[in-house]
Amino acid sequence: MHFVEVAIQNVRGFSPAGRFPLKTGYLILKPPTADVLPLGSLALSLLFADGRGGDSSLVGSAGRSGKAALTFVGQDGMTYRVLRELGGSGSLHRLNPATAQPELVSTDVSEINQYLRGQAGLPPRTTFEQVYCLQLVMLPSRRPRKSAPKAAAAAGAKASGATPSLAAATQVQPAEDVPAAEAKVKVLEKELVTAKAVDQLQFKVDELSSLIFEADSKLKGGEGLKEAIVQAEAAWRAAPSPESLGLPMDILSRVKRYPKAVARRDEALARLETDRDPELEDTSLKVPPLTKNRYFWGGLGAGVLFMGLSVGLGIVAAQPMWRYLALINIPAFGTAALMALRYVEDLQQATRKGSKDNRKDARQKKILDEFELEDAPVRMAVKALNLETYEEIPGALEQKDLLGIRLGELQTQLEEFEASAEYQGAIREGQEMRAQQEELNAELSAKGTYVRDLREVERELSRLKESIALAKAPPVQVAAAPGQAPVPVDPLEDPSPLVLSQAADVLTSDMLSVQALLKDRCVQYLTALTDRRYQGVEWDRDGNAFLLGPNSRIPVGELSPKDIDLYYLALRMTVVEKTCARVKRPFILDDVLTGMDEAKLPLVARMLKHLGTLTQVLHVTGHPGFGQMSDGTVSV
């Protein structure tokens, strides 16, 4: 998991507006002014919204609305974007890998929190705050000192699991006006009663939200079937069919009998060609013209000759016997007439053969036309389906039937799923729990539009009571060792139990195993930061820490503020290093190194640089020395 981008508008400590890309590694965020940049608080408000407007304190200029958005890659590899109007509503979006467009997941605070926990892999708020966020107010030196009764109360709270957050703790000062402070204590006690009631109601609402989310998850088991049905129906509608392609309804029958139609056509044409072969030789013989028949011309010439001789000699000789020569004209002209008649018969015979040829051409055309009635739909189907051969037509047209069968099976599965007792029970449970949630939300609304967090009220009440106690009875000083500043009697709070318990939750291990895992690395960080004044660290079964000096074993709470802060920094960096080997999450440091010796800053920068090779480290600081060691700098 790592952050990709933060976008802000009128957020305290940031520029008035902007979008700032965040890359992996050790990254420096430079604030625009000397004011504290609350990056950790902003991340907590966006990722773990309470829905009661508690993030309105992050708004920059009064009278204007503030907006913030955080884009990050979750443990599931998906990209998410949380957008929130500070003090108002918000939404969660998820980037669709297929379309590269954001899709709305939810606008409900409870659903968003449950989704980020279940899908994106966010840890609980306390774990993220105490392990992956390091703010200035979390340093032990910035927290109030504990008297003996307060230490016992804190131990009881730790045993019960009700450990308050360190994020809003501040240095306690004696009260200037004790009566006014005592009056405010009474007001805070009343507010505490309301805050407890609201906290209990909110706990029930969150529990119901978790149960509703589980019930909805059961109901969403059919979403995959519904999506598959939509896809199957779309594929079924898009599948080719005779109706959609404009083909005959019996196209499959035509395809089945198409081979027989081809065989009949080929057989008929072959038989027709066989019958025509002898006649083709006769029709190839041409009828010679009459003008080329010598018998015709001989008979005609002989008849004309003898006719002329009979007439001419009869006139010249005046003898009647020469007229008988004209009788020879009869066989001569008969021969010519016989040749003419034969020529006419040949023409008639040729004409009869041509008529027969025409009938055979008509028969061939009829055969081809009959085949075209079978062939045209098949060719049309091959072209419409974009196929190579007609044998592929049945397979292409049968896809619609197969898709229809698949669609029916999916619809049957969905009907069986929705009719199951588990599905119906989830619907009923969801309706009942939503009704209960609405009732609880109505009770929360009746308590007030905005009620501060219970832990915040408890912390303020605790600080106020302690300030009154300090005003009435200033703390007693004890003699300090030579060369050391006076140390108050009341010890500082040991941060180890809380940090170790959260590390155990992340690593899903017990306290002793976590201590054994962290010890060596924590000692390495500690000896480097303290110039080897301490050579070891030990924890008891409850997680309380003891630092080992050359000849001493000192409880952490009795250390000087400077040394306990260095130990806390070493412990936190050790926990981040070890937990990131199991699950990577960004490590956010606000400007927590204020007041540290300048000589140690390069060493801390190298340590953070090393953590940047394991996970994303976002360090808010304006110090120029850190920028030289970082993997990048972003001016926010």
Q: Identify the residue with better confidence: 553 or 394.
A: 553
Inside any domain, residue 425: no
Q: Quickly tell me which residue has 């008297």 as its tokens.
A: 147
Helix (H) or strand (E) holding 357: helix 329-384
pLDDT tens digits for range 432-460? 888 887 888 777 777 654 566 666 677 77
**What local confidence, expressed as pLDDT, does residue 452 receive?**
65
Residue with more model confidence, 479 or 124: 124
Handedness of CA 502, 503, 506, 509 (dihedral sign): negative
Which residues are registered as beta bridge partners of 632? 27
Q: Are 125 and 54 in contact (CB under 8 A)?
A: no
The CATH number covering residue 117 comes to 3.40.50.300
Q: Do residues 273 and 379 share a domain?
A: yes
Cβ count near 21 (within 10 Å): 13
Give 179-242 as a DSSP string: HHHHHHHHHHHHHHHHHHHHHHHHHHHHHHHHHHHHHHHHHGGGHHHHHHHHHHHHHHHHS--H
**Which of 327, 359, 390 is the C-terminal boundary of a domain?**
390
Comparing 35-49, 108-122, 163-177, 442-456, the range with the smallest average pLDDT is 163-177
431-440: long-range contacts at Cβ-Cβ below 8 A with a sequence spacing of 24 or more? 433/208, 433/211, 433/212, 433/215, 434/212, 436/208, 437/205, 437/208, 437/209, 437/212, 440/201, 440/204, 440/205, 440/208
With beta carbons less than 8 A apart as the criterion, state whether 49 and 109 touch.
yes
Across the range 146-159, mean pLDDT stands at: 45
In a domain, 397, yes or no: no
Kindly indicate the confidence band of residue 165, based on its pLDDT and cuts at 50, 70 and 90: very low
pLDDT of residue 496: 92
| DSSP structural state of residue 552 | -
Contact 411, 157 (CB under 8 A): no
How many helices, marked H, and strands, marked E, lie in the chain? 18, 14
Measured CA to CA, the distance from residue 464 to residue 452 in angstroms comes to: 16
**What pLDDT sits at residue 349?**
75
pLDDT tens across 77-111, in order?
Answer: 899 999 988 888 889 999 888 888 888 888 888 88
- The pair phi, psi for residue 319, each rounded to 5°, is -120, 130
Tell me, what amino acid is at 296?
F
pLDDT digits (tens, 9 = 90+) for 479-515: 444 444 444 446 788 899 999 999 998 988 898 999 9
176/602: higher pLDDT: 602
The parent domain of residue 5 ranges over 1-123+585-600+614-635
- Is the domain of 520 the same as that of 630? no
| 473 or 5, higher pLDDT | 5
291 pLDDT above the threshold of 60 = yes
Which of the four pLDDT bands, split at 50, 70 and 90, describes residue 400? confident
Q: Is residue 629 domain-shared with residue 578, that is, in the same domain?
A: no
Task: Please tell me whether residues 377 and 508 are part of one structural domain.
Answer: no
Report yes or no on 354 lying in a domain.
yes
Is residue 40's pLDDT more than 70?
yes
> Within a domain: residue 49?
yes
pLDDT exceeds cutoff 70 at 51 = yes
Q: List b or e across 424-459, with b for residues whose CB sees 16 or more CB atoms inside 10 angstroms.
A: eebeeebeebeeebeebbeebeeeeeebbbbbebbb
Same domain, 621 and 578: no
> Do 146 and 164 meet the contact criterion of CB atoms below 8 Å apart?
no
In a domain, 9, yes or no: yes
Check whether residue 383 and residue 512 sit in a common domain.
no
Q: State whether 624 and 502 are in the same domain.
A: no
451 — phi, psi (to 5°)?
-125, 130
Task: State the amino acid at position 554 in one-letter form.
Answer: I
pLDDT at 280 over 70: no
Residues 4 and 28 in one domain: yes
Q: Are both 548 and 631 inside the same structural domain?
A: no
pLDDT of residue 318: 58
Reported as a single tens digit per residue, the pLDDT across 547-600 is 998 888 899 988 888 889 999 999 999 999 999 888 899 999 988 887 778 888
Q: Dihedral (C-alpha) 113, 118, 119, 122: value to the nearest 10 degrees?
A: 60
Burial of 604 (0-12, 13-18, 19+ CB in 10 A): buried
CA dist 35 and 327 (Å) reads 154
Query: According to the model, what pLDDT value does residue 353 have?
Result: 59
Are 229 and 417 in contact, with CB atoms under 8 Å apart?
no
| Whole-number Å distance between alpha carbons of 565 and 596 | 10
- Per-residue pLDDT at 617: 93
Whether the CA torsion 49, 52, 58, 61 is positive or negative: it is: positive
Residue 89's alpha-carbon distances to 21, 82, 371, in angstroms, are 24, 11, 75
Q: Same structural domain for residues 312 and 291?
A: yes
Instruction: Write out the E strands in 404-498.
Output: none
Single pTM value for the model = 0.53
Residue for token pair 């009829």: 366
End-to-end Cα spacing for the chain = 22
pLDDT band at 262 (very low <50, low <70, confident <90, very high): confident
Instruction: Let me know if residue 207 belongs to a domain.
Output: no
Say yes or no: 563 and 630 in one domain: no
Question: What is the 3-state secondary structure of 29-59?
Answer: EECCCCCCCCHHHHHHHHHCCCCCCHHHHHE
pLDDT in the model for residue 170:
40
Q: Per the structure, how many domains does the chain have?
A: 3
User: Containing H/E element for 253?
Assistant: helix 251-284
Assess whether 381 and 250 both reside in one domain.
yes
345 within some domain: yes
**Does residue 269 surpass a pLDDT of 90?**
no
**Amino acid identity, residue 199?**
D
Name the percent of the chain lying above pLDDT 90.
Answer: 15
Decide if 456 is inside a domain. no
Q: Are 166 and 445 in contact (CB under 8 A)?
A: no
CA distances from 359 to 271, 356, 364, 428 (A): 15, 5, 9, 85
